[in-house]
Amino acid sequence: MTPPLTERVNPLRDPRDRRLPRIAGPCVLVIFGVTGDLSTKKLMPAVYDLANRGLLPPGFALVGFARRDWEHEDFAKIVHDAVKQHARTPFREEVWRQLSEGIRFVSGQIGDGDSIRRLRDTIAELDEARGTGGNHAFYLSIPPGLFQTVVDQLREYGLAEQRYGQWSRVVIEKPFGHDLTSARELNRVVSSVFPSSSVFRIDHYLGKETVQNMMALRFANQLFEPVWNNNYVDHVQITMAEDIGIGGRAGYFDGIGIARDVIQNHLLQLLALTAMEEPTSFEAAQLRAEKQKVLAAARPAERMDLHTARGRYAGGWQGGVKVASYLEEKGIPRTSTTETFAAIRVDIDNRRWAGVPFYLRTGKRLARRVTEIALGFKRAPHLPFSSTDTAELGYNALVLRIQPDEGVTLRFGAKVPGTQMEIREVNMDFAYGGSFTESSPEAYERLILDVLLGDPPLFPQHEEVELSWQILDPVLDYWASLDEAPESYEPGGWGPACANEMLARDGHVWRRP
């Protein structure tokens, strides 16, 4: 007998068919800290873009929780304005109308029982009115110090309960602690309420198309993987540069610095994806297992005085605009020793990468906003050309551009037209925008959809977080032991001189993206 056509069993759909879009089931998304910049500029527009692409069901609801004294209509107006200003896809009135019917706001304080009770009642009303089926995702866009209070209250009021046929998930934004000890404590707090399969740690870089394309580049092609090892790769540079200062984030940033903010999560995750072995499948467990092997084998260089660098931007001119130094930023104490630039060398003790240094750098007020992974290849062991023929030839490089112009560049030597055998570097380029008619979704679109679908491959688990802290903690401890401020660097450049000296000791230079 043919089974009845239900949400769970559709005889016309083959789960192996990837051509059909993945559409979330009925659910409620609750955002704590909904008045912050992240929510306004990223989360709300991403929710609208998902709805506009037809990836959210009619039975979807969005609930904001914050201290503001707003009514539902006030919050809907905030979402409306955020969507019109920041959404990737065009604004369509009919999409907004359907989405806005499920928008609610709960005014309250974190830690206040009456507030959480009102939230519970609002969610129950939506389950009934919108048919959201008891499926709830809680996005904690709040400081980590408030996590325990929130998850404890979710448990106390029954919102974290995993009932049969329903789900309850929690989403955590970085930072995942400020060192190994605090990361373990944070995991203890969250895992005491939610099972690990229901905890989603957001690293938005893992939602970017080029990061995911790295796995396709390596494992879908015979061309690259044979040279993706220490027989051919000389060194790897992973850069995340920003051309802005700290903006209005003084209170957050000065307490952690850029190494904790970027290297511990974004850059070490990119390192893991670059260096990992081929997984047996792209299921979450297999991907995580390979990333964890790499992070377990990675370590900072032994001589941290030679192979780490930190800096702090000075005041000056950038892009024709006079900018303040870090110490002149509003809210920064004059005694601060927080770094705004960090570079470290990481070595990986395994057969594939032994002897290949990985250089990670990140900074603010640099020359341009760019994130890339560059594999520098060894020079040919013998060149049948004179030294003048190859004077302008550098090393071959494969560059994965993650932002802003997503794509891949292969740099190699070619003959200059003419009668002489002169060889010069040229680029072979692949750009997402020029090769595909499909537009790339924003990272938060992909990640929010994955949360609602319960699809975990792009989310690091606590083991990866702890391994990353084990790599970075010795560097932070070394810097803390120094009785000196970070080296100053001019805005609009590529960081302090000590970063260039760090690579020069190994016979390398930083790429100019």
- CATH label of the domain that carries residue 107: 3.40.50.720
Domain finish residue from 142, 170, 202: 202
Which tokens hold the place of 319? 């892009």
Alpha-carbon distance of 395 to 423, in angstroms, equals 12
Q: Which of 20-29, 95-104, 231-240 has the highest mean pLDDT?
A: 231-240
Q: Is residue 190 part of a domain?
A: yes
Is it the case that residue 18 has pLDDT exceeding 70?
no
Cβ(24)–Cβ(129) below 8 Å: no
Q: Which residue has the tokens 């604004």?
A: 91
Higher pLDDT, 513 or 238: 238
Give the model's confidence band at 19: pLDDT under 50 very low, under 70 low, under 90 confident, else very high.
very low
Alpha-carbon distance of 40 to 31, in angstroms, equals 11
Residue type for 487, please? E
Q: Is residue 374 part of a domain?
A: yes
Q: Is residue 110 part of a domain?
A: yes
**Rounded mean pLDDT, 249-269:** 90
The pLDDT assigned to 387 comes to 58
The pLDDT assigned to 278 comes to 92
The pLDDT assigned to 156 comes to 92
Q: Is residue 5 part of a domain?
A: no
Cβ(228)–Cβ(348) below 8 Å: no
Q: Which residues contact 100 (CB under 8 A, 6 or more apart)?
A: 76, 79, 80
Is it the case that residue 196 has pLDDT exceeding 50?
yes
**Rounded mean pLDDT, 50-61:** 91
Is it the case that residue 455 has pLDDT exceeding 90?
no
Q: Which CA distances in Å does 474 have to 180, 292, 311, 366?
A: 10, 19, 18, 26
Q: Is residue 122 part of a domain?
A: yes
Give me the active site residues, please: 266
Alpha-carbon distance of 25 to 77, in angstroms, equals 26
User: Is residue 157 located within the same domain as residue 294?
Assistant: no
Helices 44-52 and 93-100 pack at an angle, to 10 degrees, of: 120
Higher pLDDT, 75 or 440: 75
Q: Which residues contact 489 (CB under 8 A, 6 or more apart)?
A: 311, 312, 313, 314, 341, 363, 495, 496, 497
Alpha-carbon distance of 346 to 357, in angstroms, equals 6
Is it the case that residue 14 has pLDDT exceeding 80?
no
The pLDDT assigned to 382 comes to 57
Total structural domains within the chain: 2
User: Is residue 142 located within the same domain as residue 115?
Assistant: yes
Give the model's confidence band at 392: pLDDT under 50 very low, under 70 low, under 90 confident, else very high.
low
User: Is residue 265 located within the same domain as residue 308?
Assistant: yes
Q: Indicate the annotated binding residues for NADP(+).
A: 67, 174
Cβ(271)–Cβ(294) below 8 Å: yes
Is it the case that residue 386 has pLDDT exceeding 60?
no
Give the model's confidence band at 1: pLDDT under 50 very low, under 70 low, under 90 confident, else very high.
very low
7 CB-side CA count, 13 A = 8
User: Is residue 379 located within the same domain as residue 413?
Assistant: yes
Domain finish residue from 202, 229, 253: 202
- DSSP-assigned letters across all residues of 404-454: SS-EEEEEEEEEPSSSS--EEEEEEEEEHHHH-SSPPPPHHHHHHHHHHHT
Cβ(11)–Cβ(5) below 8 Å: yes
Domain region containing 498: 208-439+461-504
Is it the case that residue 2 has pLDDT exceeding 60?
no
Alpha-carbon distance of 40 to 33, in angstroms, equals 10
Is it the case that residue 270 has pLDDT exceeding 70?
yes
Give the model's confidence band at 505: pLDDT under 50 very low, under 70 low, under 90 confident, else very high.
very high
Residue type for 368, please? R
Cβ(471)–Cβ(298) below 8 Å: yes
Alpha-carbon distance of 100 to 56, in angstroms, equals 13
Cβ(24)–Cβ(55) below 8 Å: yes
Interior angle at CA 125, CA 121 and CA 129, nearest 5: 175
Is it the case that residue 137 has pLDDT exceeding 70?
yes
User: Is residue 178 located within the same domain as residue 219?
Assistant: no
User: Is residue 251 located within the same domain as residue 307?
Assistant: yes
Alpha-carbon distance of 365 to 367, in angstroms, equals 7
User: Is residue 168 located within the same domain as residue 106?
Assistant: yes
Is it the case that residue 223 has pLDDT exceeding 60?
yes
Determine what percent of the chain is predicted with pLDDT higher than 70: 93
**Rounded mean pLDDT, 326-335:** 92
Q: Indicate the annotated binding residues.
A: 67, 174, 204, 208, 242, 261, 364
Which tokens hold the place of 138? 């809680």
User: Is residue 171 located within the same domain as residue 277?
Assistant: no
Higher pLDDT, 175 or 56: 56
Neighbouring CB atoms inside 10 A of 485's CB total: 15
Neighbouring CB atoms inside 10 A of 220's CB total: 11
pLDDT in tens, 84-115: 888 888 899 998 999 889 989 998 899 888 99
Cβ(277)–Cβ(352) below 8 Å: yes
Q: Which residues contact 56 (CB under 8 A, 6 or more apart)?
A: 23, 24, 47, 50, 99, 452
* Mean predicted lDDT score pLDDT of the chain: 88
Domain finish residue from 162, 187, 202: 202
Neighbouring CB atoms inside 10 A of 215's CB total: 16
Counted residue by residue, the chain has a size of: 513
Q: Indicate the annotated binding residues for substrate.
A: 204, 208, 242, 261, 364
Helices 147-156 and 113-129 pack at an angle, to 10 degrees, of: 60
Q: Is 175 exposed, middle or buried (0-12, 13-18, 19+ CB in 10 A)?
A: buried
Cβ(10)–Cβ(25) below 8 Å: no
Q: Is residue 509 part of a domain?
A: no
Give the model's confidence band at 442: pLDDT under 50 very low, under 70 low, under 90 confident, else very high.
confident
Handedness of CA 406, 447, 250, 462 (dihedral sign): negative
User: Is residue 53 located within the same domain as residue 84?
Assistant: yes
Interior angle at CA 283, CA 370 and CA 188, nearest 5: 80
Which tokens hold the place of 345? 């060398």
pLDDT in tens, 399-435: 999 888 888 999 887 777 877 777 777 788 888 777 7
Give the model's confidence band at 6: pLDDT under 50 very low, under 70 low, under 90 confident, else very high.
very low
Alpha-carbon distance of 428 to 344, in angstroms, equals 29
User: Is residue 434 located within the same domain as residue 474?
Assistant: yes
User: Is residue 345 located within the same domain as residue 285?
Assistant: yes
User: Is residue 264 located within the same domain as residue 183?
Assistant: no
Higher pLDDT, 38 or 367: 367
Q: Is residue 450 part of a domain?
A: no
C-alpha 197: how far from its chain's center?
20
**In sequence order, what are the beta bridge partners of 413?**
425
Interior angle at CA 157, CA 156 and CA 160, nearest 5: 80
Q: Is residue 22 part of a domain?
A: no
The CATH number of residue 355's host domain is: 3.30.360.10
Of 208, 214, 147, 135, nearest to 174 by C-alpha is 147
Alpha-carbon distance of 471 to 265, in angstroms, equals 11
Q: What is the dihedral of CA 67, 72, 78, 81, to 10 degrees?
A: 170
